[in-house]
């Protein structure tokens, strides 16, 4: 009898344990479900970076110094119309509300002959933030603004991108350098 009663008790005990285990598992499952119910199915990561102000400048592939040659007056033209043109391309990253200027100066202020003046006018392509021309300026050894209000921009590097720099001979003086060489000078451009 003990054997049967013991086995019956064990069976009842096993059933109770199984029921208790099932209840605990169900409670744990429902608790886990509630705990994860508020979690989203996507992950978000935020990245912050800051870029300091910077700029680059190149003139027809020749950064830094620019050597300009203004030719002699040709048939029927006057020296005042002798012109040389090049493109200046630049990239600027400026802080919000801040702008840069492009300046120009002669490396050697004595390079034009006495009485001869050379003017420079920068004409931007017209894209956003590429700056405003100040019109023709007479070049000297002192840096002068030729473009103002340059904001964050990248002009591009194509043949018509950036600002067209128009150098012209103005005033009196003669080309005394001999031959057909014309007038040569080195101009320093700087983004400030």
pLDDT per residue as tens digits for the range 30-89 = 544 555 555 667 888 888 877 777 778 888 756 555 666 666 555 545 554 566 788 889
Task: Name residue 183's beta-bridge partners.
Answer: 70
- In 88-161, alpha helices (H): none
Domain locations in the chain? 1-48, 54-191
More confidently predicted of 49 and 146 = 146
DSSP state of 81: G
Q: What is the pLDDT of residue 145?
A: 97
Q: What is the pLDDT of residue 179?
A: 45
- CA dist., res. 9 & res. 24, Å (int): 22
Residue percentage of the chain with pLDDT more than 70 = 60
Q: What is the pLDDT of residue 13?
A: 61
The mean pLDDT of 129-138, rounded to a whole number, is: 94
Element holding 119 (H helix, E strand): strand 116-124
Q: Residue 89 burial by CB count (10 A; 0-12/13-18/19+): exposed, middle or buried? A: buried
pLDDT band at 146 (very low <50, low <70, confident <90, very high): very high
Residue percentage of the chain with pLDDT more than 90 = 23
């Amino acid at each position: 009898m003990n054997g049967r009663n013991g086995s019956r008790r064990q069976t009842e005990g096993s059933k109770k344990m199984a029921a208790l285990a099932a209840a605990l598992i169900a409670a744990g499952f429902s608790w886990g479900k509630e705990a994860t119910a508020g979690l989203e199915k996507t992950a978000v990561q935020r990245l912050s970076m800051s870029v300091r102000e910077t700029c680059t400048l190149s003139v027809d592939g020749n950064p830094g110094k620019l050597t300009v040659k203004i030719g002699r007056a040709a048939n029927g033209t006057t020296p005042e119309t002798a012109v040389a043109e090049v493109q200046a391309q630049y990239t600027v990253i400026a802080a919000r509300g801040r702008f840069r200027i492009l300046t120009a100066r002669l490396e050697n202020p004595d390079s034009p002959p006495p009485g001869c003046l050379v003017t420079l006018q920068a004409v931007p392509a017209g894209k956003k933030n590429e700056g405003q021309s100040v019109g023709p300026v007479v070049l000297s050894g002192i840096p002068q603004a030729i473009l103002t209000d340059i904001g964050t921009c990248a002009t591009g590097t194509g043949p018509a991108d950036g600002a067209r720099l128009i150098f012209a001979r103005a005033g009196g003086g003669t080309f005394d350098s001999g031959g057909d060489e014309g007038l040569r000078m080195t101009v320093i451009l700087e983004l400030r």
